[in-house]
Amino acid sequence: MVVGLEYTTNRADWQRNCTSSGIRVYWVVSEVKQINEPVATRGSAYQRVHAWLLARENSRYASIMAPRKRALFADLEGTILELGPGGGHNFRFFSPTVHWIGIEPNSCTHPYLRAQAAREGISAEIRPGRAEEIPAPDGMVDAVIGTLVLCSVSDPQRVLREILRVLKPGGTFAFIEHVAAPEETGMRMVQRMIRPIWKAIAGGCHPDRETWHLLERAGFEDLTIDHFKVSVAFIAPHIAGLGTKPRRPSP
Ligand SMILES: C[S@@+](CC[C@H](N)C(=O)[O-])C[C@H]1O[C@@H](n2cnc3c(N)ncnc32)[C@H](O)[C@@H]1O
């Protein structure tokens, strides 16, 4: 592992690296991508560390997910609202013509998000708030996306209601989530045992949510849910898919 701290007086270099201070922190770990660091300044120490970790991208996981993200996100147009964007690793999959709104309660991630959006040339707006109470009017957005976020929110059913509220009729919800392993398996037992400590260290993440059941009952039309596994310890089971907000309200 190589860690470095670099100071530059070259303003063009600052701008290229999207930092305001001229200080660039870098390191190289075999699995983790090198990042030019915007410095997060507010929030609790926990939030700052969590934001810093979220800005790291595991290159193996990212390369496994890339084809799925491309398939789910590339055709989305108009105004896209992303819940819990974290370090902003989804920007590269969006069309450059979209207007992106991020709802991210950890304000220490915001500098990372702005930097990533600028790097990918995406028009971006960050709204403080939570997915349980999305700060947007009814029927405002063309698409909502969430990756690894329904595991972390405190009330996923309320979040799904909020997603349907802010989507335009016919709008799309695109998601990728890690989920509970099948009941009675060793993996499920491990997920259950590790839940309290994992929630505490991983920003409220529940390793054993049966999120697909919640999606099936939420009221989306044309719901597709693909179950697959990624070899990442006790959060291997994943789902990915799309749902559509009905064009007509249900009777
Ligand atoms: C595991 S991270 C995933 C980050 C990113 N979506 C990704 O795929 O790399 C979960 C994210 O959800 C955010 N989050 C947690 N609770 C939330 C809530 N109630 N509403 C919106 N975002 C939330 C966290 O701050 C964090 O950025």
Ligand 1 touching residue 104 (CB < 6 A): yes
Ligand 1 atom 23: residue of nearest CA: 84
Q: How far does residue 214's CA lie from ligand 1's centre (Å)? A: 18
Ligand 1 touching residue 89 (CB < 6 A): yes
- Whether residue 174 is found in the same domain as residue 240: yes
What is the per-residue pLDDT for 43? 80
Question: Of ligand 1's atoms, which has the minimum distance to the CA of residue 205?
Answer: 1
Among candidates 84, 80, 81, 86, which has minimal Cα distance to 58?
86
Strand arrangement, sheet containing 167-178: 123-127, 99-103, 79-83, 141-147, 167-178, 237-244, 221-229
Domain membership flag for residue 159: yes
What is the per-residue pLDDT for 42? 64
Domain membership flag for residue 249: no
Ligand 1 touching residue 83 (CB < 6 A): yes
Ligand 1 touching residue 203 (CB < 6 A): yes
| Domain interval for residue 18 | 2-55
Domain membership flag for residue 131: yes
Q: How far does residue 151's CA lie from ligand 1's centre (Å)? A: 8
Domain membership flag for residue 170: yes
What is the per-residue pLDDT for 249? 73
What is the per-residue pLDDT for 232? 85
- Whether residue 175 is found in the same domain as residue 235: yes
Among candidates 169, 185, 150, 155, which has minimal Cα distance to 250?
169
Global pTM value: 0.85
Domain membership flag for residue 251: no
Ligand 1 atom 17: residue of nearest CA: 153
- Whether residue 19 is found in the same domain as residue 75: no
Ligand 1 touching residue 111 (CB < 6 A): no
Q: How far does residue 109's CA lie from ligand 1's centre (Å)? A: 10
- Whether residue 20 is found in the same domain as residue 112: no
What is the per-residue pLDDT for 231? 87
Spatial separation of the C-alpha atoms in residues 251 and 248, rounded to whole Å = 9
- Whether residue 74 is found in the same domain as residue 117: yes
- The number of folded domains in the chain is 2
- Whether residue 23 is found in the same domain as residue 131: no
What is the per-residue pLDDT for 37? 43
- Whether residue 90 is found in the same domain as residue 150: yes
Q: How far does residue 46's CA lie from ligand 1's centre (Å)? A: 14
- Whether residue 136 is found in the same domain as residue 174: yes
What is the per-residue pLDDT for 90? 98
Which residue stretches of the chain have pLDDT < 70? 1-42, 251
Spatial separation of the C-alpha atoms in residues 219 and 222, rounded to whole Å = 10
Spatial separation of the C-alpha atoms in residues 243 and 143, rounded to whole Å = 10
- Whether residue 47 is found in the same domain as residue 122: no
- Whether residue 30 is found in the same domain as residue 83: no
What is the per-residue pLDDT for 7? 32
Q: How far does residue 149's CA lie from ligand 1's centre (Å)? A: 5
At 27, list the tokens. 């390191």
Ligand 1 atom 6: residue of nearest CA: 85
Domain membership flag for residue 10: yes
Contacts of 34 (CB under 8 A, 6+ apart): 26, 27, 28
Domain membership flag for residue 33: yes
Q: In CATH, what number is assigned to the domain containing residue 204? A: 3.40.50.150
What is the per-residue pLDDT for 251? 67
Ligand 1 touching residue 57 (CB < 6 A): no
